[in-house]
Amino acid sequence: MSIAIYILVMAGVTYLIRMLPFTFFTQKIESKFLRRFLFYVPYAVLSAMTFPAVFHATGNTVSSAVGTAAALILAYLDLPLIAVAAAASASAFVTGLFI
Amino acid sequence: MASEVKEGLLHGLPIGLGYLSVSFGFGIQAVRCGISAVDASLISLTNITSAGQAAGIEIIARQGTLAEMALVQLLINLRYALMGLSLSQNLDPSFGFIHRMLASFGITDEIFAVCSCRKKPVTPKFMYCVILVAAVGWVSGTFLGAVLGEILPPSVTAALGLMLYGMFIAIIIPPAKKHRSVLAVVIIAAVLSVLCKHFLPMITSGFAIIICAVAASVIGAFLYPIDEKQEAEK
């Protein structure tokens, strides 16, 4: 089968999943419970994606943990996204030089 | 309005850089599956999602059926439907039908996070700019990975792998510091995710994220039911 058809199906399905709820759900949700639920979803998604995966992100638990700690501390100090992300990578890289 | 553009580009930057390193790996993997650099880039441009694409090229490599391809994409990417629903609650009135149709193309975990955790309602300009920077990183990283292969030293690519997670942490910590409810949800989701990984390793990562996030959010909504003020000042 041609790869173009595979790509078409892949992209089509993925787009529809994204587009349908986002485009056609326009009213405000009235249910307080549902609103609280949707308010928490992004934080829960990010947390579930980050832990425990972050501890294997560099392929080494020690340098990953150092990078994670750096990110946690700088995020706690309210530094901007790019600074926290860069510091996590940089500290993991430097730690990697010593192990 | 210019600040919306600037802010969007700035928020897109860590995503784009993180994507660059992640999609570099995808490019390498795609070539190993017998897919050309151009086709791999085309997949990245039309899908912009890591887990779905990784599963997709594996199906292409072994010439699986189209039904299987459709079903796998549906399951792995189902979380975007939930995200779209959540994000639809935090849109600026200028976000009309056409803008929604166009911008929905760029709903990824990271773009969703940056948009939905924004204090102000999301404008089309802001979201387009985030998507643009992210997509440039994602597609060019794929192409570079496919063409250059393993030229970058592993120590550099390994450290770049932390970029996206660093950004996630930067998004969740400040509100968790302010609101005990968010802190509780974040901890519950993390604990569930760790348990899931250890005791139910057969669940795919896309599914595990849906299960853990839905469970943690439901628990949060039960534990902290009425807090309209906090929601308003989000």
Rounded-to-integer distance, Cα B119 and Cα B82, Å = 20
For A59: left if phi > 0, alpha if psi spans -120 to 50, otherwise beta; the answer is: left
The Cα angle at residue B45 between residues B44 and B47, in degrees rounded to 5: 65
Residue B112 has pLDDT above 80, yes or no: yes
* Helix, strand, coil percentages for chain B (3-state, nearest 5): 80, 0, 20
**Separation CA A90–CA A62 (nearest Å):** 14
Query: pTM of the full predicted structure?
Result: 0.74
Chain B touched by A62 (CB under 8 Å):
no
Per-residue pLDDT of B113-134, as tens digits, reads 899 888 889 999 999 999 999 9
- Boundary of a domain, candidates B129, B155, B171: B171
Answer left, alpha or beta for residue A27, where phi above 0 means left and psi between -120 and 50 means alpha: beta
pLDDT at A30: 82
Longest Cα pair distance anywhere in chain B, in angstroms? 54
B114 and B194 fall within a common domain: no
Q: Which two tokens stand for residue B230?
A: 């906090």
Residues B7 and B69 in one domain: yes
Q: Does B144 share its domain with B73?
A: yes
Q: Which of A8, A9, A10 to mutate to test the interface with B (most CBs of B within 10 A)?
A: A10
CB contact under 8 A, A47 and B185: yes
Domain span at residue B186 reads 179-234
In this prediction the ipTM stands at 0.85
Are both B200 and B136 inside the same structural domain? Answer: no
Look at residues B120, B151, B171 and tell me which one is the last residue of a structural domain. B171
Average pLDDT, chain A: 90
At position B204, the amino acid (one-letter code) is T
Same domain, B56 and B115: yes
B234 band by pLDDT with thresholds 50, 70 and 90: very low
Complete DSSP assignment for B144-197: HHHHH-S-S-HHHHHHHTTHHHHHHHHHHHHHHHH-HHHHHHHHHHHHHHHHHH
| Domain chopping of chain A, boundaries | 30-98
Question: Are residues A37 and B218, on separate chains, in Cβ contact within 8 Å?
Answer: yes
How does residue B230 score in pLDDT terms, banded at 50, 70 and 90? low
B184 in the same domain as B157: no
B216 and B233 both lie in a single domain: yes
Which residues in A lie closer than 8 A to residue B159 (C-beta atoms)? 58, 63, 67, 89-90, 92-93, 96
Per-residue pLDDT at B229 exceeds 70: no
Q: pLDDT digits over B29-58, tens only?
A: 788 788 999 999 999 999 998 778 887 888
Largest Cα span, chain A = 55
Kindly indicate the confidence band of residue B139, based on its pLDDT and cuts at 50, 70 and 90.
very high
For A36, the closest of B85, B161, B221 (CB atoms) is: B221
- Alpha helices (runs of H) in chain A, residue ranges in sequence order: 3-24, 32-50, 61-76, 81-98
Residues of A in contact with B13 (CB under 8 A): 82
How high does pLDDT run on average in chain B? 87
B156 or B1, which is more confident: B156
B10-29 tens-digit pLDDT: 999 988 988 887 788 788 77
What is the C-alpha separation between B160 and B20, in angstroms, rounded?
A: 9
